[in-house]
Amino acid sequence: MKFVTLVCSLLFCLPSFAQEKFPDGTLIPDWFRQNEIVNIETLGSKYKITDHGVVNDSTLLQTEKIQAVIDQASSKGGGVIIIPKGTYLSGALFFKPKTHLYLEEGAVLKGSDDISNFPIINTRIEGQSLKYFAALVNADKVDGFTISGKGTINGNGLRYWKSFWLRRTVIPKCTNMDELRPRLVHISNSNDVQLSGVRLINSPFWTTHIYKCNNVKLLGLYIFSPAAPVKAPSTDAIDIDVCNNVLVKNCYLSVNDDAIALKGGKGPWADKDSNNGSNTNIIIEDCTYGFCHSALTCGSESIHNRNIILRRCTINQASRLLWLKMRADTPQNYEYILVEDIKGNAKSFLYIKPWTQFFDLKDRKDIPMSYSDHVTMRNIDFECDVFFNVSASEQYKLTNFKFENLNIKAKDGEYDKSIIPSSEWNNVKVNQ
């Protein structure tokens, strides 16, 4: 009888589950619920790098030998490049169509701390398409690409971080374009991508950068870079850049910058550049956050984000829960964003202010108007220093925000409803 009752209950729930919707009302495809970890037995031949002259040595640079294994697999129709237990030092690696990366438990792919081991290529950085250093792991136009296993990709970033802060003492306005360094993983122009299980740590620069990709799943990743004793500058955990259909699920994210940043272009004419574009249909769920600048950030190089969901996450020691960077020199539209079922703490609950760092209107005479519309934050139990860290500005319009079922403990719990016209406030409890 209990079994029959259980089955009936499940059947009763199925229609509502199947009809789950994005914030703009469109149905969430079943693709977002089909989350089996890739089985490398289905990916073709296996190429264990130690069977091809690569040795377990954390001090011996072996970029060419590892790349030769990738090239060999590609020439024979593809397959899985297996990193066995041990530590293997490498510069930039370039994966080809139908090749994959698998790291066994105890395996470490360690990045070189010599920048000369990362060639300069045409790539994408900070909302611009330009020449920059390659990442440690690169995959461009590799549909179906996977990184999986229980091993580690270690960016070995300490030397790069120290160099950045040293340069800052001489040039206080030093940027990432002045102190160049490689990313850990860069995947571009690819469809049906899955990263699962691995540890991505100590990146010299951005940790995982996904550009112009469709149908990407990041499952069960551990992403970390330190805030002390040496801060790891701009080591964003996941940068989503002009992508459609992205799922981030069951990940641990703790980095010295934004945990998840939505990017897509910058500059006064960014919306006219074909290299730029929107992020649409992004779901971040069931994740745990350690220290970071923000759990979810729109910007600072972003022109359009639509249908963004952050849900069922635990936040600890973040600087901000939701950060909308309103960049004064770039036209932006952040719309249909849902943050729900969150618990934890941050310095700021909601942070929206003009973002003027590196402001440059170039040849544009007027400041482009930006917008954020239909943002919902609901079912959240949270502690923060500042609840409503939002400023009005003539450069942007904030409309149709909804705050519902919030239980907030804040040192500064003040909020000015007039800053966001047509906002709704239902069952919001703020205890100072």
Does any domain span residue 32? no
Distance CA 307, CA 29 (A): 13
Amino acid 173: pLDDT = 86
CA–CA separation, 98 and 77 (whole Å): 7
Establish if 17 belongs to a structural domain.
no
CATH number of domain containing 149: 2.160.20.10
In this prediction, residue 178 carries a pLDDT of 86
Whether the Cβ atoms of residue 117 and residue 93 lie closer than 8 Å to each other? no
Q: Residue 76 gets which letter from DSSP?
A: T
**pLDDT given at position 360:** 85
> What is the model's pLDDT at position 359?
84
Which residue matches tokens 């006219």?
272
**Residue 356: what pLDDT?**
82
Evaluate whether 268 touches 294 at the Cβ level (below 8 Å). Answer: no
**In this predicted structure, what is the pLDDT of residue 17?**
45
Q: Residue 5: its pLDDT value, please?
A: 47
Give the model's pLDDT for residue 34. Answer: 96
Query: What are the beta bridge partners of residue 52?
Result: none
Residue 82 tokens read as: 């297996």
pLDDT at 18: 55
**Which helix (H) or strand (E) is 248 found in, with range?**
strand 244-249
Structural domain including 242 reads 47-430
User: Residue 37 falls within a domain, yes or no?
Assistant: no
Give me the long-range contacts of 173-176 (CB less than 8 A, separation at least 24): 175/358, 176/125, 176/126, 176/205, 176/233, 176/234
Q: State the pTM of this model.
A: 0.95
Give the N- to C-terminal CA distance of the chain in Å, as an integer: 50
- Please identify every stretch of the chain with a pLDDT value under 70, giving residue numbers as ranges: 1-18
Q: 202 near 156, Cβ under 8 Å?
A: yes
**In this structure, is residue 80 part of a structural domain?**
yes
Q: Is 20 part of a structural domain of the chain?
A: no
pLDDT tens for 192-206 read: 999 999 999 999 999
Residue 2 lies in a domain: no
Total domains in the chain come to 1
| Measured distance CA(207)–CA(246) in Å, rounded | 17
**Any idea what the Cα angle at residue 313 is, between residues 189 and 12, rounded to 5°?**
95
